[in-house]
Amino acid sequence: MSALDHPQVESSLEGFLKKVRPRLKTLFAHYRIPPQDTEDILQQALLALIYHREGVRDPEAWLLGTLRNKCLLYWREQRRRLYDAVDAAVLEFMAEPLEPAQESADLQRDLINALERLPERCRSLLSLRYRQGYDPPELAQRLGYSPASISKITTRCLAALTRNLLALGKKKGGA
Amino acid sequence: MTVPHPNPEALERFVLGQLSPAEMREIARHLLTGCPGCQEVTAGLWEPEDVFEDPQTLTLPAEEEYDEVLDRVFENVVATEARVEHQRALGRKLYDELMQCPAERRQLLLTNSRRFRNRMLCERLVEESYEAGFEDPRLAIEVAHLAVLAADRLEAGDCDGEEILTGLRAKAWAHLGNAYRINSDLASSEQAYAVTESLLSESRIPLIERARVLSLLASGRKAQQRFAEALQIFDRAAAIYKKLGQWNLLGRTFLQKALVCDEAGDDEEEMKFLRRALDLIDPQSDPRIFLAARHNLIHALYERGRVREAFALLYNTRPLYLKAGDRMNLLRLRWLEGLVAFGLQRIDQAEAALREVREAFVDLGLGYDAALASLDLASVYILQGRTADVRRVAEETLTIFQSHNTHREALAALLVFSSAARLDRAGIDLVREVSSFLKRARNNPELRFSAVS
């Protein structure tokens, strides 16, 4: 692209918004952002654009690039919330005594089955976490990870467990 | 164990994390059984990121569903535009007011006055620090310090959220690091960059701010001669600019990469990046950056002995220097004119230009640049066999340098040159060697000088 190809900046904000409207709708639909969650994402991006308007040469490309990134962050955040919820749920099950004994045995069996389907590294980590009650510093020490990286590794393993519970990958792999 | 199947709506809200903890727990327990029916539903609700690349595989929400939200947001944003303009004007006014005060009062105002707790003032200080780097490098440090102070006083509510506030803080610290770098104070620069890096790694900040901060950090790494690291960081910034379609900023990043290649001695890559930069930078809207790229290309051509090409390009670029009009750019033009004239054996022109440049740097208190210009001037005298002038320049250079700099190894190199001049033994090769050492050692106090010539 040559410097001469730089797009002209729309002079009024209203004109700019009218022009980008169809592309915004396509983008949000493409990233499957629920309409009710779109408001904050779009509002933040447009406000940032207004504040940075003087420094932004191609506002449309800037806005779409920023929104794409925000959409991906939205899903990352949603996922993290879900991983945390699954983690909290399993920790709670394991902590409280279940009656009758059959129920406890069922839970143990289901958990073992779920963990069995994970890669070895995650299997070890989550077994120690759920069945032995190890906290992150103990996990790091026991498995030889640095204390700084154990949180990231745990999140990855929780992601693997959650994906497994939701049968993600099944659809793509055709299993 | 028989656990009731959640309905599809509950499963969807589970996936979106919209249920109460107790409900989340109940569904998680059910899914732990590996229920194939429910997994069939959830598998379609939660797609991995790479599926976004292939929208045909998904059932997308209807675009009309977004109309209501878009109407609401657009209305709100249009109403906000006027408010932002007002704040911007207020930021400018506060900046003028602040800078009219004595230096010691500026900090007091920023610390104690509620009126000066203003996002746009902070943005303005950041920009002004950057601008001052071209005209008055010492002022750049002072203004960047004020920007840091202003950013530290701001709260999330002043900036439409934590993300923007952190971005502003990172940017203020990065500019402080940059200001110190320009003034060759690498220790202070590194301290400021360390704060910047911790803000970058600990928090989320807007993409455009991240790219800008990364560029400044990479310039810091270049100054520390950590070239591979600098190139990697510039690549991260370049990736963001590509993602945001900001081609002019991408061009600017290529220009900075060219500088790294120059210092690393990779001539071929330097020329390549300079030409790519010139292709992307718009001379109308970014005249100063375009000029910097041209200037560097002319210098690179001169350094590689392609003096006629350098002369032709300099002739075409001269109006841009004059249009820029600031003192540092005019000095750079004059310096380059002196060098190119020297390369073309136009000795009188070269001498006049280099003397002028040297005196201007002395006036500005930029002893390091004055020493470099002096060495170029000494080359002119050596070529003419004017040994008395070489001796005089060598002595004067030493005095100027000592009064402005504490760089021991650079001083040692200048002492070698001065001693040789006193004995009428300073040749072109020695001058080149000392000059090249001074350029490399400027940002690397650890470098040791040992003369070969």
Domain with CATH 1.20.120 in chain B: 357-453
Nearest CA in chain B to A67: B244
Query: Which candidate, B50, B2, B34, B47, places its Cα nearest to that of A117?
Result: B34
Rounded average pLDDT over A49-61 = 87
Residue B453's pLDDT is 59
Question: Which residues span the domain enclosing A139?
Answer: 97-173
Asked, for residue A2, whether it belongs to a domain, the answer is no
- pLDDT digit string, tens, across residues B15-68: 877 788 888 888 888 888 888 888 888 877 765 454 455 444 455 567 778 999
> What whole-number distance in Å separates Cα of residue B153 and Cα of residue A170?
51
| Interchain pair A166, B282: CB under 8 A | no
| Interchain pair B246, A56: CB under 8 A | yes
Q: Which residues of A touch B31 (CB under 8 A)?
A: 165-166
B452 touches chain A (CB under 8 A): no
Q: Which has the higher per-residue pLDDT, B438 or A10?
A: B438
Q: Which residues of A touch B67 (CB under 8 A)?
A: 25
Asked, for residue A6, whether it belongs to a domain, the answer is no
A151 and A118 share one domain: yes
Residue B351's pLDDT is 96
Asked, for residue A5, whether it belongs to a domain, the answer is no
How many domains does chain A fold into?
Answer: 2
Q: Which has the higher per-residue pLDDT, B202 or B67?
A: B67
A30 and A68 share one domain: yes
A103 and A167 share one domain: yes
Statement: residue A9 has pLDDT above 50 = no
Domain with CATH 1.25.40 in chain B: 75-205
Residue B49's pLDDT is 52
| Interchain pair B16, A17: CB under 8 A | no
Asked, for residue A125, whether it belongs to a domain, the answer is yes
Asked, for residue A1, whether it belongs to a domain, the answer is no
> What whole-number distance in Å separates Cα of residue B339 and Cα of residue B347?
10
Portion of chain A with pLDDT greater than 70, in percent: 86
Regarding an ipTM greater than 0.85, the answer is no
Q: Which residues of A touch B282 (CB under 8 A)?
A: 3-4, 6, 57
Asked, for residue A107, whether it belongs to a domain, the answer is yes
Residue B20's pLDDT is 85
A104 and A71 share one domain: no
Asked, for residue A88, whether it belongs to a domain, the answer is no
Q: Which residues of B touch A163 (CB under 8 A)?
A: 46, 48
Asked, for residue A90, whether it belongs to a domain, the answer is no
Q: The domain that contains A150 carries what CATH number?
A: 1.10.10.10
Fold classification of B75-205 is 1.25.40
Query: Which candidate, B267, B238, B242, places its Cα nearest to that of B253?
Result: B238
DSSP A98: P
Statement: residue A98 has pLDDT above 70 = no
**B443 pLDDT band (50/70/90 cuts)?**
low
- pLDDT digit string, tens, across residues B48-62: 454 455 444 455 567
| Interchain pair A32, B28: CB under 8 A | no
**A7 pLDDT band (50/70/90 cuts)?**
very low
Rounded average pLDDT over B257-261 = 94
Statement: residue A21 has pLDDT above 50 = yes
Query: Which candidate, B329, B303, B305, B326, places its Cα nearest to that of B317?
Result: B329
Residue A143 to chain B, least CA–CA distance (Å): 25
- pLDDT digit string, tens, across residues B356-381: 999 999 998 888 899 999 999 999 99
Residue A66 has its nearest CB partner, among B68, B161, B244, at B244
- pLDDT digit string, tens, across residues B267-320: 889 999 999 999 999 888 889 889 999 999 999 999 889 999 999 999 999 999
| Interchain pair B160, A3: CB under 8 A | no
Statement: residue A6 has pLDDT above 60 = no
Residue B59's pLDDT is 55
List the 330-359 stretch of B: residues with Cβ below 8 A of A.
none
Statement: residue A175 has pLDDT above 80 = no
Which of A25, A36, A73 has the highest number of chain B CBs within 10 A, making it the mutation to test binding with B?
A25
Q: Which residues of A touch B161 (CB under 8 A)?
A: 44
CATH number of B357-453: 1.20.120
